[in-house]
Amino acid sequence: MPSFSDHPSNQRVKILITGDSGAGKSGCVASLANAGYNVRILDYDGGLDILGRYLTPEGIARTHYVTLQDDFKAGKATAWTRGLELLKHWKTPTEDLGPVSEWTDMDVLVIDSLTFAGEAAGRAVMQRNGNKMNGKPSQADWYDIQREAQQFITWLTSDDLVNCNLVVTAHLRGIVDKATEEVKDYPMTPGVSLSRNVGRFFNSLVRIDTRMVGGKPKKYFRTIPDDKLDIKIVADVPPEVDISKLDEIFAAAKRGPVAVAA
């Protein structure tokens, strides 16, 4: 019987980072590159400008990205397909990083963001089904879109297929509970059902919050649940962690859960 120290949760971090637009989801991965990880970003949002503010020269050298945008003027939905191709083999005109399946636990794949990746999947499916990429999806289209998005997440989080660490960002959406009529936040994905269930694919799910300290905004990762979001984390970390210390969450997660005394 293998020791639990060999369990994949002790080598591979899979974290879903949620927050509103402008919360700092894109920039927070800088600390990983600065700490020695090779960070590779599939950029569906086109909002990586802020990342350069926080990277050291060494961190810059360890950070790679590909921005994936559809050609709305030409009516061509290519971002989703191109992203899938890069996951099979990350190759651009200037670099060849090989198949993602061969990356190690010193590599970090970043999907920024799942929300916009899901929208790209929707446009790709619409075009593939013979519709305008920005048209209104039919029920059959919605089925295909949600299936594509879930298969994407399932592949990324599979420990049998992917060995590298995974950071996925997502915007938040409020969903009304029909029984209680209360609104609760979930990661924004194609379809309500996937939004409700996507958190189970990750061993950690945190939210970026902001509060004013000394007249200045302080951004931090909230690591304990509240009545708005079902937060979870497999790491011994404080309830609040500064947004610049994602590397510390990684280090704690790799040490594994803390044993609870009987």
| Nearest partner of 69 among 55, 57, 81, judged by Cα | 81
Do the beta carbons of residue 67 and residue 41 sit within 8 Å?
Answer: no
Do the beta carbons of residue 151 and residue 111 sit within 8 Å?
Answer: no
Q: How far apart are CA 183 and CA 180, in angstroms?
A: 9
The pairing of beta strand 204-213 with beta strand 216-222: antiparallel
Mean of per-residue pLDDT scores for the chain: 89
Question: Among 3.40.50.720, 3.40.1380.20, 3.60.21.10, 3.40.50.300, what is the CATH number of 4-255?
Answer: 3.40.50.300
Q: Give the number of other Cβ atoms within 10 Å of residue 195's Cβ.
A: 21
- Domain residue ranges in the chain: 4-255
Average pLDDT over residues 16-45: 91
pLDDT classification of 257: cutoffs 50, 70, 90: low
**pLDDT tops 50 at residue 94:** yes
For the chain, the maximum distance between any two Cα atoms, rounded to a whole number of angstroms, is 63
**pLDDT tops 60 at residue 161:** yes
Do the beta carbons of residue 27 and residue 50 sit within 8 Å?
Answer: yes
**pLDDT tops 60 at residue 240:** yes
For residue 176, count CB atoms less than 10 angstroms from its CB and return exposed for 0-12, middle for 13-18, buried for 19 or more: exposed
Q: Running DSSP on this structure, what letter comes out for residue 254?
A: H
Share of the chain above pLDDT 90, in %: 69
**pLDDT tops 90 at residue 62:** yes
Contacts of 99 (CB under 8 A, 6+ apart): 88, 89, 90
| Nearest partner of 231 among 244, 243, 219, 240, judged by Cα | 240
